[in-house]
Amino acid sequence: MATSNPAFRNAAFGAPGAVATTKVLSDNDLQALYNSPSAGSQDTDRMTYEDTIGKTVLAFAILLAAAATAWVLTPVAPFLLILGAIGGLVLGLVNAFKKEPSPPLILAYAAMEGLFVGGISRVFEQIYAGVVTQAVLATLVVVGVTLALFSSGKIRASKKATKVFLIAMVGYAVFSLVNVGMMIFGATDGAFGMRSGSIEIAGFEIKLGLVIGILAVLMAAYSLVLDFDFIQKGVNNRAPRKYGWSGAFGIMVTVVWLYVELLRIFAIARE
């Protein structure tokens, strides 16, 4: 399956193959190998699930620490929210298009996203009390269910589904840009722009933002499937250990996107 993530264009993410060797081992060599401890990612310099999980946990720990800081300081230092939004966007694009993963840049991205998430969460919580708790719990549920379904083999990434996903993403990105532009230039007076509008479905009036939000959550869930699939391919094909950072970056981007979408859904439902 083709991917737009440059980090996974490495040959190790293609079809799996065995590593050949022409050296004949003696009985003593085989016994020494049998008695030696199992090699970890540091010894083999290969990508493993454990190493990728460790990198992901570290990235999220930095994100949460920055989010907690922004949550406390945003009322007196609102610029942190803007700094996090701009810094996260710039570093996200830089990391996405780098040929080789850069741990410092990925961790810096985690810090910027933490400032953004903490700041936007504090703003939403002040307006819609309790919405942050709802969004956090919903995010954990979506991530947990998606991981469980992927681990059990119930859902898998496919070429056809990925093409539909990419088309939907382009459409969603265009809508979001147009919506932001309309809000900036006063073309709409809704708190969430066009998302604040309503549509009628089967005789029921439903806010457009809820419909679009649910579709965005479904796209984010499939994006998680792609992230898990990329990591699985990297481990199975013995990709270099450094690509564990790419896996951590991909999951972090998707989870932040998912959380923001759910935060907005619960806020729109309160209007």
pLDDT tens per residue, range 133-144 = 999 999 999 999
122-145 average pLDDT score: 96
- For position 200, what pLDDT does the model report? 79
Q: Please give the mean pLDDT across all residues of the chain.
A: 86
Look up residue 133 and give its amino acid: T
Q: Is residue 206 helix, strand or coil?
A: strand
Per-residue pLDDT band at 57 (split at 50, 70, 90): very high
Structure tokens at 208: 């457009």
What are 177-198's pLDDT values in tens digits?
A: 999 899 888 888 888 888 888 8
Name which residue leads in pLDDT, 65 or 8. Answer: 65
User: Global pTM?
Assistant: 0.83
Tokens of 21: 């060797």
End-to-end Cα spacing for the chain: 42
Contact between 142 and 258 under an 8 Å Cβ cutoff? The reply is yes
User: What mean pLDDT do residues 113-119 have?
Assistant: 97
Q: Has residue 71 got a pLDDT over 60?
A: yes
For residues 50-62, give the mean pLDDT: 96
| Nearest alpha carbon to residue 118 among 42, 190, 65, 57 | 65
Q: How confident is the model at residue 250 (pLDDT cuts 50, 70, 90)?
A: very high
Letter string b/e over residues 155-180, b meaning 16 or more CB atoms within 10 A of that residue's CB: bebeeeebeebeeeeeeeeeeeeebe
Spell out the domain ranges in the chain: 45-269
Which pLDDT tens digit goes with each residue over 209-236?
999 999 999 999 999 999 999 999 999 9
Percent of the chain with pLDDT over 90: 69
Quickly state the pLDDT bin for 29 (edges 50, 70, 90).
low
Q: What secondary structure, in 3-state letters, does 93-159 show?
A: HHHHHCCCCCHHHHHHHHHHHHHHHHHHHHHHHHHCCCHHHHHHHHHHHHHHHHHHHHHCCCCCCCH
Q: How far is CA 241 from CA 29, 46, 226, in A?
A: 27, 4, 19
- Angstrom CA distances, 199 to 83, 114, 158, 182, stand at 35, 34, 32, 19
| Per-residue pLDDT tens digits for 33-50 | 556 555 555 556 899 999
Task: Decide if pLDDT at 7 tops 50.
Answer: no
Instruction: Give the pLDDT of residue 25.
Output: 55
